[in-house]
Structure 1
Amino acid sequence: MRSEMIELDGRPFHIRRWGAPDLPVLLMLHGFPEYSGAWSDLAPLLAERFHCIAPDQRGYGQSWAPEGVGNYVTSALVGDMVALIAQMGGGPITVLGHDWGASVAYGLAMFRPDLVERLIIANGVHPVPFQRAVAAGGAQTAASQYIHALREPGSEDKLAANDFEKMWKMFSASMDMGWLGDDRQVEYKTEWARPGRLRAMIDWYRASPLVVATPGEPATGLPDLPVDRLIVHCPHLLIWGDADTALLPVSTKGLEEFAADLTRVTLPGLDHWLCHRDPRAVADAILGWIDAAEDDQ
């Protein structure tokens, strides 16, 4: 692994790299509440085929963390990655996103299809099926109620109190965190404790237009989503750990409507942190999908 600071549009960003620079690029986008080091289990397993590049996204880790919710709208987050791809020599490249990183990955694929050759999502959601699910008042609505708490003013202070006690409880709720040993806990706390970072991380939730209903009460007046513009035109792989309690299968219902060339791979027994729990299974799913596509050419 190699680590460095770069500038994107004059702003500092931290990235990690694995694999030879002359290999095809794989852009790896982490989610909440992680950082670029979250890929340290998976990236080495892909580094013989790809030059893996993982940024600390805006507001995370050692990257730029401006104040103000408006700095964390999806278009700004996608813009950062457009600048990064340009600095890497341009596209099209393969993009992998997990959790919130999936939102940025989908944004790249939908709004800059010229930059994305293949899209891989690991337990992440397309905006339309997810909005439908969290607005319906059912199981995904209930599972997403934590979003209301995160959006509350000062939630970052509550999560940081007592050595991030509530942050740990939220991070590990109903999931197997055996992969998170003492050394790694120190690494995560180091990243969360950087000035302004926890607030910035949560501002991603505050900036999102996502409407989360009350359980049992479907929401009305949803934002007008430009469905015809939210299409993934490139080959798309969705890897799904079916024991996820934060994102339920209903959150991807109807994804085929937006991704005609979609392959679904389910990994039984793995939860939201599938890239940590069984990185070999995730790597095999990615490499098997790519090999099959190349064999068909």
Structure 2
Amino acid sequence: MQEHTTRLKGQEFHLYEWGPADAPVILALHGFPEYGGAWSDLAGHLPDFRIVAPDQRGFGQSWAPQDVRDYANGKLVGDMAALIEQIGAPVIVLGHDWGAAVAYGLAMFHPHLVSRLIIMNGVHPAPFQRALAAGGAQTAASQYIPWLRGDGAEDILAADDFAKLQALFAAHMDMSWLAGDRLAAYKAEWARPGRMTGMLNWYRASPLVVPKPGERATGLPDLPHDKLRVPMRHLLIWGENDTALLPEATEGLEDYCDDLTRVNVANADHWLHHQQPALVASLIRDWIARG
């Protein structure tokens, strides 16, 4: 693994890289509450690719403005569009969790930068908003979102050596992979000044409407298929035991994609790239090899 910084639109961003410099590039986009170094498990099983994994805006050692307005999706996508142009387009884009939101944004609004799209337990905005608006199981599972948007959530998450942050997903999913030196590395990233606020501002800036369980959201804007299309080949890898994102969050995804392949992974949840990295890597390699 190599680390270095680069400037994107005048701001410093920290990058992690694995693999040969002349190999095909996979831009790997992490979610909450991870950072670029979180891709080390998967990268070790993809030696024939150059994995480029930035700390996204607000995370790790990258630029972390404190204004919620600086976390609008267009700005987050713009960061990574600038990085791809710097690397050399097009590239394979891989997104997990919030990284999937940026990956979909690149695919939909900057398709010339993306050769293939890979999503792992992440959601396209249209099917996800429909599932949230329905007031059913996904709505209930997503009640942590309004809580994370609240004032002072960063202080609660950081208290007692980040005990609440660690417990946020551990209650119903396997977090045994986050221990020892790895947990210490995560805590070091979380503890950087302003990073907890930056990380939470992704939730605060999102336009997603999350009603209370059993209630339906109405008056939502149209989510047109033509403007939110994924035109390139698209692989969705799904850890079946995810309790934060449920299968209903991807229902109807085919309507927005020209070429979608779905693969489910048993005995894995939201954190599948840590739990089964060898299997996930083989799925990625096989799918890319099919042309």
TM-score range, shorter chain: over 0.9
The one-character-per-residue Cα deviations of 1:209-254 (angstroms, maximum 9, x if unpaired) are: 0001111111112133343210000000000011000000000000
Stretches of structure 1 lacking an aligned partner (at least 5 in a row)? none
Indicate which of 172, 182, 188 corresponds to 2:186. Answer: 188
* Matching residue of 1:118: 116
Does residue 53 (structure 1) correspond to residue 52 (structure 2)? The answer is yes
- Please tell me whether the aligned partners of residues 175 and 245 of structure 1 are also in contact (alpha carbons under 8 angstroms): yes
Give a deviation string over 1:73-128, Cα, whole Å, max 9, x none.
11000000011111112x11100000000000000000000000000000000000
TM-score of the superposition, structure 1-length normalised? 0.96
Instruction: Tell me the equivalent position of 2:163.
Output: 165
Name 2:71's counterpart in structure 1. 72
1:262-284: per-residue Cα shift (whole Å, max 9, x none)? 00001012100000000011001
Q: Which residue of 2 aligns with 1:234?
A: 232
Compute the TM-score of the two structures, normalised by the length of structure 2. Answer: 0.98
Q: How far apart in 1 are the matches of 2:109 and 2:58?
A: 22
In 1: Cα distance, 2:248 partner to 2:171 partner: 20
Cα deviation for residue 197 of structure 1 reads 0.3
Amino acid at match of 1:147: I
**1:235 alignment partner, SS class:** strand
Alignment-mate amino acid for residue 108 of structure 1: L
> What is the SS of the residue equivalent to 1:27?
strand
1:46 match: secondary structure: coil
Q: How many pairs are equivalent? A: 291
Contact 1:209 1:223 in 2 (8 A): no
CA contact (8 A) 2:234 2:259 kept: yes
Which residue does the alignment assign to 1:88? 87
Q: Tell me which residue corresponds to 2:37.
A: 37
Structure 1 CA distance, aligned partners of 2:207 and 2:221? 7
Separation of aligned partners in 2, 1:149 and 1:227: 31
Q: Please report how far the alpha carbon of residue 173 of structure 1 lies from its aligned counterpart in structure 2 after TM superposition.
A: 2.5
> How much is the aligned-residue C-alpha RMSD, in angstroms?
0.9
Amino acid aligned to 2:248: V
Letter of the 2:56 counterpart: Q
> What aligned pairs does 1:1-297 form with structure 2 within 5 A after superposition?
1-48=1-48, 50-89=49-88, 91-293=89-291
Identity %: 63
Name structure 2 gaps, 5 residues minimum. Answer: none
Offset at residue 171 of structure 1 (A): 3.5
